[in-house]
Structure 1
């Protein structure tokens, strides 16, 4: 009997790529451009994972929609310009490439991304690090409602034919965990991103990884258990 297709979907910012310095710098530029006070770094990073419009709304809910829209556009422009600064590079987190290589070598496993980035921003990040060929489905804030809405993950499953029980979402925020739970998929958190491990666990993470070395054992703990359940159901 052929094993079901297994889909591993990654968040991008805070999970694969360390973009915190760029995000904070771009947000400060956008706020400065419109006379808004800069926010604490922790506050800005707390909204990473949301689509940009949702993130700006969460940071400055008191300002009128027209101003929020202008801040959003200023952020996009600042982010584009700041990419040229070498001191604000977006490096991969340790172990990313090795983890992707190991997953790509697994039979019946395909990889995807679900991110609050735009398609343009995601394409630039993947091309910069030579990661594009690892992923068969790319879901962004351009294509679906912001996390934690499950549509991005549902689209990834639809693209690949994987079912919710055969899908794992890996991310660093509670928005990721809530998205996976809403889609009926499994969720694994990582502790090197922008939300604390306790928040990830409360939002539904099966476990929180301390490094990419723990990814393979975490996946093996999910999938053999599912295989046993399928076998038991078939024999009933």
Structure 2
């Protein structure tokens, strides 16, 4: 069978990390004595690289202050991750079974495209027993922030899969726009951090993780 590539976003798609994200943002803004944005504003930037996220949340602050925000966020997030383990960013209901089932298909390659750092992603994958499960892993350390298509173009190049046989699965408009720019179809999930109604470019919308395999087959073939 012709190989196909299923690429997942992480935060808001595979794992529910909003508790740690909000707590880390709170610690970061406290560290530089700035007013914390509203929770909805914090969740709206999930998926962006941290430097871009801080620029959106605190656009009037000097670059040095935003650098301090990034550093303080990373420090707190790492502390919470070490303390909480897998419970720090739990898998969404049913998503673990879907990913593991897809991984057993000889013609299906799995990928990740995330705004996380490599260190953060490696720790998360290890916590959930997923180390080595994904054939291509693209992180913020190596690419421009979403929605730039660099992550997806690199994933295609690494796996040799054609765009028509690849799909991006995510919860945000950044994921959707990135997929569109790369010429890859997009499947939206309803359980993440952007309103499903905003994912207007999705080829399919899924409200239950158990429905993802059928949606993938429908969009790129089985």
Q: CA RMSD in A?
A: 1.5
- 1:197 partnered with 2:199: no
What SS is found at the alignment partner of 1:133?
Answer: coil
- 1:49 paired residue number: 47
> CA–CA distance in 1 between the matches of 2:220 and 2:172?
23
- 1:15 partnered with 2:3: no
TM-score in terms of structure 1 length:
0.90
- 1:218 partnered with 2:220: no
- 1:107 paired residue number: 106
The within-5 A match list for 1:142-181 is: 142-181=141-180
Whether contact under 8 Å (2:204, 2:219) holds in the other structure is: no
* 1:70-103 superposed Cα distances (whole Å, 9 cap, x missing partner): 1111111111122244497211111122101221
- May I ask how many residue pairs the two structures share in their alignment? 221
Q: What stretches of structure 2 of length at least 5 have no aligned partner?
A: none
> CA–CA distance in 1 between the matches of 2:81 and 2:100?
27
- 1:233 paired residue number: none
Greater shift, 209-218 or 111-120, is seen at 209-218
- 1:40 paired residue number: 38
- 2:90 paired residue number: 91
> CA–CA distance in 2 between the matches of 1:84 and 1:183?
35
> CA–CA distance in 2 between the matches of 1:64 and 1:223?
45
Larger radius of gyration: 1
> CA–CA distance in 1 between the matches of 2:163 and 2:20?
33
What SS is found at the alignment partner of 2:144?
Answer: coil
* 1:40-73 superposed Cα distances (whole Å, 9 cap, x missing partner): 1111000000001011111111111111111111
Greater shift, 183-192 or 211-220, is seen at 211-220
TM-score in terms of structure 2 length:
0.96
> CA–CA distance in 2 between the matches of 1:105 and 1:83?
29
Greater shift, 78-87 or 209-218, is seen at 78-87
